[in-house]
Structure 1
């Protein structure tokens, strides 16, 4: 599968990151020690195994610094990396390449870390039908690309924002008067036929009331394994099930084996490691 985000979506992020790094005077180290007309070729190299993500943002980082830089990608987003793989080659003005280096690598290492973590966790329960979904626990301003990285790693996106779907949580129910059935009825009257409705529940009694009202999906919050198994049986043919609440790589497989349809993990965006990728002079 081919993965890519349009440049028009990622260009503002790259430009903002470059401005942040260049500060008020630009790259004074490169200006001090590198001749302004010197050219070079450097290579973006994987230093550990993983799943590549962010190659187009790296390309934009160099091109925004100097449009004459030649960026040759040897791999694409979604490709499996091995230590020592050359991801891309960068040729052009030496100062410009070094000035864009950190911005390009920040995007690559962060997004590849998310895609790698997503892939690793999804593989933990590949023997089940469950699918990993991410949450809105993202870094402000980076949600689009973090959720893109989840897709590259084989996961799925939950809501991109508050306008995607109706997700009724305990605070909504409390502030709507405390009646879960009435809250769902209000949501249905508002939603129309194109907006899905999901309701968070933390007890089986709440789940029964929700199922009686009819919703698209139920979020099973912080339930233990026995509760999840019972909830899945109750929802059979009535609603899709999504487990949520502190799921980690260590607990994901057992939760998936309860039969839930989805596992919602904030972990893949808020706690994913960086993948070690460097820019080397070979």
Structure 2
């Protein structure tokens, strides 16, 4: 599933390719993709004549900002956008096509068919589902250590599933949680309220550093991810533990292990990320 770095890369690519284009018409070939309005003809009519002003991101969601409407799109497992000339052959699994007045098209392909699209009146999308309850943006200026500690520090939940919960912090995803916990030296099964303030600082810094590195590398193409120009990400070549079960830890040489935490496959180094159980830190509680 595309996570924050991949979605951010798609956003940046689309802003280079489609900003300023005006929609002539929209073709919907798979109704289930369209969630709001639930009528595909109404969906298409809302965007006819609309000019795309900007593509923004909220967590793992893309926000297509038109003149009067915002389209919220989630790629789910394997959704992808691509820009084509209108005379180029239509590839299999192309479910929604935005035909622009300049003869180009923005095509949405989705082999798994799990992606979604919602249309809202401009600026209304942030206060309604699916965006209303999303948590902190880890690459936003508002993502300070104090905000991070306030969200997570007193929770009794294991730290990995807590970091994956989109109501606390958005967009990190399985790959980047494993990488961040490794960088911070924290076992994925530690309860959040057992982390000391220095450990929380390390984790906060690791999350920001990992995500920035991944965005700079264009995301991770572990499975089928490509950006809007069909290019793969390169961060998978920098992964330290994720997907490396049985390999030597790049820090200590110990064998990387894989377990299941919160229902998700989890990679970690048992030597660099020892399991510690501590009483709740007064510094964190305060």
The TM tier, using the shorter chain, reads under 0.3
* Bigger Cα Rg: 1
Compute the TM-score of the two structures, normalised by the length of structure 1. Answer: 0.27
**Structure showing the higher helix proportion among its residues:** 1
- Asked which structure has the greater RCO (Cα within 8 Å, sep 6+), the reply is 1
